[in-house]
Amino acid sequence: MNVRLLGTLAAAQFLMVLDQAVMNVSISQLVEDFDTTVTTIQSVIAFYALVMAGLMLTGGKLGDIFGRKRTFKIGLVIYAAGSALTAASWSVPSLALGWSVLEGIGAALVLPSMVALVAGNFDGKDRAVAYGVLGGMAGVGIAVGPILGGWMTTDFSWRYVFVGEVIVAAGIFFGTRWMAEPASDGKRPTLDWVGSALSALGLAVVVFGVLQASNWGWVKPMNSPVEIFGFSLTPFVIVAGLVLLGLFASWERRRERVGEDPLVHLDLLKIVPLRSGLTMMLAQNLILMGIFFTIPLYLQVVLGFDALETGVRMLPTSAGLFFTALAGSALASRFAPRKLVRLGLVVIFVSAFLLIGTIEPSLDNTDFLVAMGVLGIGMGLIVSQLGNVAQSAVGDDDRSEAGGLQNTAMQLGSSLGTAVLGAIVITGLLSAFQTNVVSDPAISAETKNAVQERLSSGGTFVASDQVRKSATDAGLSQTETDAIVSGYEDAQLQSLKLALLIAALLTIPSFWSARNLPDRVLGEAQAEPAAST
């Protein structure tokens, strides 16, 4: 095995997933540095996901046109330029240009090419190990990001993280000399500009709508900028995105009928193992990122831990994911992907219930760390298989397109996980808090009516100290204030447990969907048949 090349690709994978985790724990400092609001910084972070999701398919096609290695290098240079601008940013627009736009474009070029480069430079068991390592590094980036971001932001500056990214990108660029360009049939396709625009816009609008659901409300309007027939703007935005994606599919079919190169060959989705692998990638990221959204709320908002303390307690998931991904790659030579992925889903199901048991007013560190470690083990079993399944299902000429589909599925899963479980947390919090206030005899009828009126316009997940301050400022008695704070703290725990329960239940349909994964060991020279249903 080419260890130097694998190390280069692993470093690239780590770099691509590190940013979002770093920025999430640096929001308060960014607000202070740029004299702006939390909503503005959250929009910048969301825009990064939108750029990546919208351009993944185009990035995969550019790899076919210009070569996977060249596209990888170009994307790396753009990403490094974005990191440099982010480190030096002097305003919110410069931050958005550097981080959201340039880094998002760079990642959309690097990630699909990286998937194809693994398939083109490794074979058989080595390929399975390589995909396991990359899957593990993705988990490490997600979990290490809060630690690194928290440490840098607390003791130095968040800007240093992006200076470090420029240095790492330079090292990766140097390592590209160990890459071989994957074989192709020599035909150079043309870029479908209309398809690129429709797919990017459609995916971006869908993701944007889902991301805004927790602010606007899914159906019932909360802070929706526009109300249509009394409904929130969210479903209309999502439907508009789906319409654009429908137009994209029709356009791609038309191009294929007239003999022109499409952005993506939609017939790839008829390949059962590939389609099942994409479904599982979406589900895996939906569950993982949903949990990774919920747990920091508990640790930081409920328990009051800082960013660094939060990251340290999430580290067992990273360690479990990384080492199990390596072990899963070895197990792939003896067991079929279907069995290993389903085992991983069972382990995740168990870990979610273990986490539910740890959501209490005070943290039992041992139980919590064990539960987080078990979560990492389950995720590691899954990520070690899916990359190899997807790439083994297609030929050399389709690898970049398959890579674009893979990363699109993962970005959609991440966005959906954060949005869906975030909406569940907020909805559950408001509902449980209202129930607790209404049923508490220590709270007067007048106060109950005031709380219900306040909750009817929506709310957010804040520390109980803020609730206490609001009650005190409103002139409530100490007895009523204590009762309201107690009811709110109980509602916090209930809503977090509800979100984790939903995450656990999502493994059930995922287990069923895994039935179409390969039920045999993927051999060295074997590829899954292009069967369709």
Q: Alpha helices of 332-398 — where are they, by DSSP H?
A: 337-358, 365-392
| Burial track 75-111 (b if 16+ CB lie within 10 A, e otherwise) | bbebbbbbbbbbbebeebeebbbbbbbbbbbbbbbbb
Query: Are 460 and 474 contacting, i.e. CB atoms less than 8 angstroms apart?
Result: no
CA 140 to chain centre: 13
pLDDT band at residue 186 under the 50/70/90 scheme: low
* Strand partners for 228: 231
C-alpha span between 232 and 457 (Å, rounded): 12
Give the structural domain span for 445. Answer: 428-495
Residue 348, pLDDT above cutoff 90: yes
3-state helix, strand, coil in the chain (%, to 5): 80, 0, 20
pLDDT score for 143:
64
pLDDT beyond 80 at 381: yes
Q: 30 with 143, same domain?
A: yes
**Bridge partners for 231 per DSSP:** 228
Query: What is the per-residue pLDDT across 321-331, written as a single tens digit (0 to 9) for each?
Result: 878 877 877 78
Is residue 525 in a domain?
Answer: no
Query: How many CA atoms are closer than 13 Å to the CA of 417, on its beta-carbon side?
Result: 27
AA identity, residue 161? V
Residue type, 276: S
Mean pLDDT of the chain: 83
Residues contacting residue 118 through CB under 8 Å, at least 6 positions apart: 9, 127, 130, 131, 134, 387, 391
Q: Would you state the pLDDT for residue 308?
A: 75
Q: Tell me the C-alpha distance between 199 and 112, whole Å.
A: 16
For the chain, percent of residues with pLDDT exceeding 70 = 92
Q: What is the pLDDT of residue 456?
A: 67
Q: How confident is the model at residue 531 (pLDDT cuts 50, 70, 90)?
A: very low
156 and 210 fall within a common domain: no
**Distance of alpha carbon 285 from alpha carbon 213, whole angstroms:** 18
CB of 228 within 8 A of CB of 206? no
* Inter-residue contact 147 to 439 (CB < 8 Å): no
Tens-digit pLDDT profile for residues 28-85: 678 778 887 665 776 677 678 778 878 888 888 888 788 888 899 999 999 999 999 9
Q: What is the pLDDT confidence band of residue 532, given thresholds at 50, 70 and 90?
A: very low
- CA distances from residue 414 to 287, 305, 408, 476, 529 in whole angstroms, order as listed: 8, 24, 10, 42, 29
- Asked if residues 310 and 146 have their Cβ atoms less than 8 Å apart, the reply is yes
Structure tokens at 422: 């975030």
Instruction: Pull the structure tokens for residue 353.
Output: 């219930």
pLDDT at 533: 33
Residues in Cβ contact with 485 at an 8 Å cutoff, skipping those fewer than 6 apart: 464, 467, 468, 471
Same domain, 140 and 21: yes
Q: Looking at the structure, do residues 19 and 163 belong to the same domain, yes or no?
A: yes
pLDDT tens-place string over residues 288-311: 878 887 888 888 788 888 777 877
User: Is residue 15 domain-shared with residue 149, that is, in the same domain?
Assistant: yes
Residues 122 and 230 in one domain: no
Residues 199 and 162 in one domain: no
> With contact defined as beta carbons under 8 Å apart, do 345 and 510 qualify?
yes
Is 524 a residue whose pLDDT tops 70? no
Q: How confident is the model at residue 5 (pLDDT cuts 50, 70, 90)?
A: confident
Same-domain pairing of 12 and 136:
yes
Q: How does residue 179 score in pLDDT terms, banded at 50, 70 and 90?
A: confident
State residue 50's pLDDT score.
75
Residue 303 lies in a domain: no
Per-residue confidence (pLDDT) for residue 81, from 0 to 100: 95
Instruction: Give the whole-number percent of the chain exceeding pLDDT 90.
Output: 22
Let me know the angle formed at the C-alpha of 200 by 197 and 203, rounded to the nearest 5 degrees: 140
Position 496 scores a pLDDT of: 92
Shared-domain flag, residues 209 and 155: no
Q: Is the pLDDT of residue 395 over 50?
A: yes
CB 356 within 8 A of CB 374: no
Residue at 70 is within a domain? yes
Per-residue pLDDT tens for 486-518? 999 999 999 999 999 999 999 999 999 888 888
Determine how many CB atoms are found less than 10 A away from the CB of residue 499: 30
How far is 209 from 233, CA to CA, in rounded Å?
8
Last residue of a domain, one of 246, 262, 278: 262
CB 232 within 8 A of CB 216: yes
| Token couple for 491 | 């509602």
Q: Which helix (H) or strand (E) holds 239?
A: helix 234-257
The answer to whether residue 48 is domain-embedded is yes
Buried b (16+ CB within 10 A) or exposed e, 460-492: ebebbeebbeebeeeebeeebbebbbebbbebb
Report the amino acid identity of residue 69: K
**In terms of domains, do 12 and 44 share one?**
yes
Q: Based on the domain organization, do 130 and 103 belong to the same domain?
A: yes
CATH number of the domain that 112 lies in? 1.20.1250.20
Q: What is the mean pLDDT of residues 228-236?
A: 88
Helix or strand (DSSP H, E) at 455: helix 445-455
Q: Long-range contacts: 210-214, Cβ < 8 Å, 24+? A: 210/234, 210/238, 210/415, 210/416, 210/419, 210/420, 211/46, 211/49, 211/50, 211/415, 211/418, 211/419, 212/237, 213/419, 213/420, 213/423, 214/419, 214/422, 214/423, 214/426
Q: What DSSP element (H or E) covers 410?
A: helix 399-439
CA–CA gap between residue 421 and residue 438 (Å, rounded): 26
Domain match, 21 and 138 both: yes
Examine residue 39 and state whether it is found in any structural domain, yes or no. yes
Residue 228 covered by a domain: yes
Count of domains for the chain: 3
Residue 82 near residue 106 (C-beta atoms within 8 A): yes
Q: Which two tokens stand for residue 276?
A: 């099942």
User: Does residue 316 form part of some domain?
Assistant: no
Asked whether the beta carbons of 410 and 282 are under 8 A apart, the reply is yes
Instruction: Give the separation between CA 261 and CA 249, rounded to whole angstroms.
Output: 13
Model confidence at 112: pLDDT above 80: yes
Q: Is the pLDDT of residue 141 over 80?
A: no
Tokens of 260: 């022109």
**Tens-digit pLDDT profile for residues 427-450:** 888 888 888 888 888 888 888 888
Taking residues 179-193, report their average pLDDT: 74
Q: Do the beta carbons of residue 221 and residue 210 sit within 8 Å?
A: no
Task: Quote the CA–CA distance of 256 and 151 in Å, as a whole number.
Answer: 52
pLDDT of amino acid 302: 86
The answer to whether residue 523 scores a pLDDT higher than 60 is no
Q: What tokens does 221 get?
A: 């309007």
The answer to whether residue 272 is domain-embedded is no
